[in-house]
Amino acid sequence: LRPGVAVDLDRVVARLRAAGCVRAEDEAAALLGAARTPGELESLVARRIVGEPLEHVVGWADFAGIPVHVAAGVFVPRHRSEHLVDVAASLLHERTAAARPPPRSGTIVLDLCAGTGALGLALHRVAGPFDLYAADLDPLAVACAADNVAPVGGVALLGDLFDPVPAQLRGRIDLIVANAPYVPTSVLDLLPHEAREHESPLALDGGPDGLAVHARLLAEAPDWLAARGVVLVEVAEDQVPAALSLVTAAGMTGQAVPAPDDPDTVAIIGRHPNHSASETRPAAEATSTAERTPTGVCTRE
Ligand SMILES: C[S@@+](CC[C@H](N)C(=O)[O-])C[C@H]1O[C@@H](n2cnc3c(N)ncnc32)[C@H](O)[C@@H]1O
């Protein structure tokens, strides 16, 4: 609110709490921060009370400590996907350390099914600089991604999977990170109201087994990856065997890395066929074939 404008914060908190908002104080503070006038605050509170996600109401989400612009209707980045960023960052760091001689041209990262572009942006923060491309099929999402990645020189692209990616990047991308939709169609109805009512089905519906978009994405990925490049996708624990099969069917080496604090969030790594395993795979994580190690890493070659 503008300086000098008074509001009854306790009343806002009470209304939010009565509407079922668990973190009513925090939400009230966020709504207060987003409104310029008492009238605007009233309309933001009203939207929140009828169940619109807080992030859509205030226009931004926190992802990995970064405020990310998110418009109404666009997928709100989930904290669980910060695991994908952590794994991607360690892969980029390993790659840089292993490169002998150091690469002459810059690193290229593609955030596919990018939504707001939160993953690519957060990765740039911890493992940049690199050339960042963020692509999505939803024009609303691409508009958000364009806003979010522009400050780090990123480019947002609109289209189906790799269709909008510039042809000159074929065979040159070092890392593809993709949090594609992976909810099986049959369980979409079980999602929380906020997701069902306020996020695009395109962002959630992964087809019969939840991996329909992953299947196309992983099949095409090797054509776009540089030698020693990697593709990284997020799946649920029960999708790991099927996801690893898609990776191997595409001729890549697969590895599954569950999130340390949430075993149901798993990063699937696909390494380019020309990738030398000994170059970059952490020794503690290297296993032969489709076996689960004490560290919870599952690989299939
Ligand atoms: C689960 S959301 C994830 C968004 C973002 N990566 C994140 O984690 O916040 C999936 C995204 O994939 C996009 N998407 C779905 N099918 C796609 C396709 N065939 N090509 C490109 N993007 C697609 C949706 O529009 C949505 O933004």
**Centre of ligand 1 from the C-alpha of residue 180, in Å:** 5
Return d(Cα 263, Cα 275) in angstroms, integer: 27
User: Which of 85, 87, 137, 233 maximizes ligand 1 atoms within 8 Å of its Cβ, making it the mutation to test the pocket?
Assistant: 137
Provide the 3-class DSSP secondary structure of residue 174: strand
Q: How remote is the CA of residue 179 from the centroid of ligand 1, in Å?
A: 7
Indicate which atom in ligand 1 lies nearest the CA of residue 74: 27
Reduced to 3 states (helix: H, G, I; strand: E, B; else coil), residue 135 is: strand
The residue with tokens 């074929």 is 170
Residues 77, 113: Cα–Cα separation, whole Å: 12
Cα 159 to ligand 1 centre (Å): 11
CA of 4 to the centre of ligand 1 (A): 42
pLDDT for the residue 217: 98
What is the per-residue pLDDT for 129? Answer: 95
111 φ, ψ to 5°? -95, 105
d(C-alpha 141, C-alpha 131), whole Å: 20
Name the residue with the closest Cα to ligand 1, atom 14.
Answer: 113
Which of 202, 205, 214, 218 has most ligand 1 atoms within 8 Å of CB, for mutation? 202
Pocket of ligand 1 (CB under 6 A): 75, 77, 81, 113-116, 118-119, 136-138, 141, 160-161, 179-181, 202-203, 213
The pLDDT score that the predictor gives to residue 97 is 76
Q: Angle 113-115-121 (CA atoms, 0-180°, nearest 5)? A: 100
Instruction: Identify the pLDDT of residue 136.
Output: 98
- Ligand 1, residue 163: give the atom nearest the CA: 20
Q: What is the pLDDT of residue 5?
A: 64
Return the ligand 1 atom nearest residue 138 CA.
25
Q: pTM for the whole thing?
A: 0.90
Element of type H or E holding 7: none
Nearest Cα residue to 79 out of 115, 53, 41, 118: 118
Under a CB-based contact definition with an 8 Å cutoff, are residues 110 and 92 in contact? Answer: no
Q: Which atom of ligand 1 is nearest to the CA of 178?
A: 6
pLDDT tens track, the chain, 301 positions = 666 667 788 999 999 999 999 999 999 999 999 998 889 999 999 999 999 999 999 999 999 999 999 999 999 999 999 999 999 999 999 887 777 665 656 899 999 999 999 999 999 999 999 999 999 999 999 999 999 999 999 999 999 999 999 999 999 999 999 999 999 999 999 999 999 999 999 999 999 999 999 999 999 999 999 999 999 999 999 999 999 999 999 999 999 999 999 999 999 999 998 765 444 444 333 332 233 332 333 344 3
